Amino acid sequence: MKIEIAIPIFDRFTALDAVGPYEVLSRLPGATVHFVAAEPGPKRTETRMLALTADLALDELTDPEVVVVPGGYGTRELARDEQILGWLRRAHETSLRTTSVCTGSLLLAAAGLLDGLEATTHWLAFDTLAEYGAVPVERRVVEHTEARIITAAGVSSGIDMALTLAAHIAGDEIAQAIQLGIEYDPQPPFDSGSTAKAPPGIVELVRGAAGTFA
Amino acid sequence: MKIEIAIPIFDRFTALDAVGPYEVLSRLPGATVHFVAAEPGPKRTETRMLALTADLALDELTDPEVVVVPGGYGTRELARDEQILGWLRRAHETSLRTTSVCTGSLLLAAAGLLDGLEATTHWLAFDTLAEYGAVPVERRVVEHTEARIITAAGVSSGIDMALTLAAHIAGDEIAQAIQLGIEYDPQPPFDSGSTAKAPPGIVELVRGAAGTFA
């Protein structure tokens, strides 16, 4: 089976949102991951410290089997950009799964793909997601089989989402093999990865300095 | 405090090895992450599906506070490259921490920085690491405070390593804030991320198709 996977990137995206799923999905037998953009070329992250290359223009890949939309501060501007929104609508007509990580879900919502659907995003962007017509829920990965949509929470959650997606596409054994290949046996030194688990002072610290930490 | 962080990249590196730590360390107050290479410009991962840009030449940043060496198939060739090995030795003379993810430890070992030291790498590269004079151990993150070296296991382990490093540099609260900022609350759909946890058949599957999965 040939599986084309499109990851649209853009100015001020978050690198791990895109690279976590890339690292999982590029290992799917038969899959090719394409980084795409309105204009091909290097796209810089919101920190300005890193650029990833988009190899294809959006109109060179209009019917991928899988779409993974990363987040980042650039999504706010892109949510008003009819070129990317139109591309997302068209790609979703034929995709097996249309997915997002972090504030990438704002773009799916702005394209009208999440109207009235439960979805997730970075915990700091729940209100914005609701304004676009989705129903924010506090889960790490939110799947809709019939609507063929998966949204994931902030940044690192794309790895969990992509393993779930890999299992849908190629079965549990292949997904487990990929997990072992990337040695995804998480052992964070703290248990501070969600607002429910982090000490309240840490939540306030991040909320007050979102430009630094989130 | 000003903290310069160098991540050397090269042809056929593994993107998540570099981008996991980047995503954590770029959020450290006062830190700047620089992607460096012998020749600046785009460097392609071993899948050929993605390129990251190295913005600086190695000789433009010889005394970073932190070095993070990613792995990938390209490390085998680079382990004979005196330019990168000399750069690593010189950088390590003044760094606060010299670190690696996955087979990046082969380069630290080839540079002579791991002689007789316990260290880790991707589980498929333990024998190679031993040939370079290190003592492989099955831990996700291996720290040497006096030698100022941290090595991490395969691919995704760089996120755990970088959070540990962030706590050393800026304290536990900042590290926890970064963890919450990137919502690192891992919930993998399987428990197959190490050879000890994966079903034996999955370990054999990955071992037999390392070019696909690892």
Same domain for B123 and B196, yes or no, is: no
User: Are A76 and A96 contacting, i.e. CB atoms less than 8 angstroms apart?
Assistant: no
- A67 and A128 both lie in a single domain: yes
The answer, for B199 touching chain A at a CB cutoff of 8 Å, is yes
Residue A1 pLDDT greater than 90, yes or no: no
Q: pLDDT digits over B112-141, tens only?
A: 999 999 999 999 999 999 999 999 999 999
Most distant CA pair in chain A, distance: 49
Provide the domain limits for residue B140: 3-183
Angle between helices A15-25 and A157-170 (to 10 degrees): 30
Q: Does residue B10 sit in the same domain as residue B32? A: yes
Q: Is-contact B42 B21, C-beta < 8 A? A: no
- Residues B190, B196, B201, B207, CA torsion sign: positive
Cβ–Cβ below 8 Å for B50 and A33: yes
Give the pLDDT confidence of B165-176 residue by residue, as tens digits.
999 999 999 999
Q: Is A162 helix (H, G, I), strand (E, B) or coil?
A: helix
Which of A182, A204, A206, A212 would best serve as a mutation to test chain B binding (most B beta carbons within 10 A)?
Answer: A182
pLDDT mean over A38-61: 98
Q: Are residues B195 and B116 in the same domain?
A: no
pLDDT exceeds cutoff 90 at B151: yes
Residue A129 CB-half CA count within 13 A? 31
The reply to whether B53 and B139 lie within a common domain is yes
Residue contact A173–B205, C-beta within 8 A:
yes
| B146/B206 same-domain check | no
Same domain, A196 and A120: no
Tokens 């433009």 -> residue: B60
Beta bridge partners of B205: none
pLDDT of residue B190: 98
The C-alpha torsion from A19 through A21 and A27 to A30, rounded to 10°, is -120
Share of chain B above pLDDT 90, in %: 99
User: Is residue A126 predicted with pLDDT exceeding 80?
Assistant: yes
Q: Do B10 and B101 lie in a common domain?
A: yes
Cross-chain residue pair A15–B34, CB shorter than 8 Å: no
What is the nearest CA distance from B7 to chain A, expressed in angstroms? 11
Tell me the backbone φ, ψ of residue A150, rounded to 5 degrees.
Answer: -130, 130
**Are the C-beta atoms of B31 and B14 separated by less than 8 Å?**
no
In the structure, what pLDDT confidence band is assigned to residue A22 with cuts at 50, 70 and 90?
A: very high
The pTM assigned to this predicted structure is: 0.97
Looking at the structure, tell me whether residues B194 and B173 fall in a common domain.
no
CATH number for position A142: 3.40.50.880
- Mean pLDDT across chain A: 97
Residue A62 amino acid letter: T
Supply φ then ψ for residue A75, to 5 degrees.
-65, -30
* Residues paired with residue A57 on neighbouring β-strands, in sequence order: A37
Instruction: Looking at the structure, tell me whether residues A151 and A209 fall in a common domain.
Output: no
- Name the pairing type of β-strands A135-136 and A51-54: unpaired
| Number of structural domains in chain B | 2
- Give A94 to chain B, closest Cα distance, Å: 23
Q: Is B200 on the interface with A (CB under 8 A)?
A: no
- Considering the domain architecture, whether residues A105 and A76 belong to the same structural domain is answered as yes
Say what the pLDDT of residue B1 is.
72
The set of residues, in sequence order, having a beta carbon less than 8 Å from that of A198 and lying 6+ positions away, is A192, A206, B176, B179, B180
CB A188 within 8 Å of CB A158: no
Q: What is the pLDDT of residues B156-204, one digit of tens each?
A: 999 999 999 999 999 999 999 999 999 999 999 999 999 999 999 999 9
- Same domain for A115 and A143, yes or no, is yes
Distance from CA of A81 to the nearest CA of B (A): 25
The helix-helix angle for A157-170 and A172-181 (nearest 10°) equals 140
Shortest CA distance to A136 belongs to which of A146, A127, A148?
Answer: A127
Provide the ipTM: 0.97
Question: Does residue A213 belong to the interface with chain B, where contact is any CB pair within 8 Å?
Answer: yes
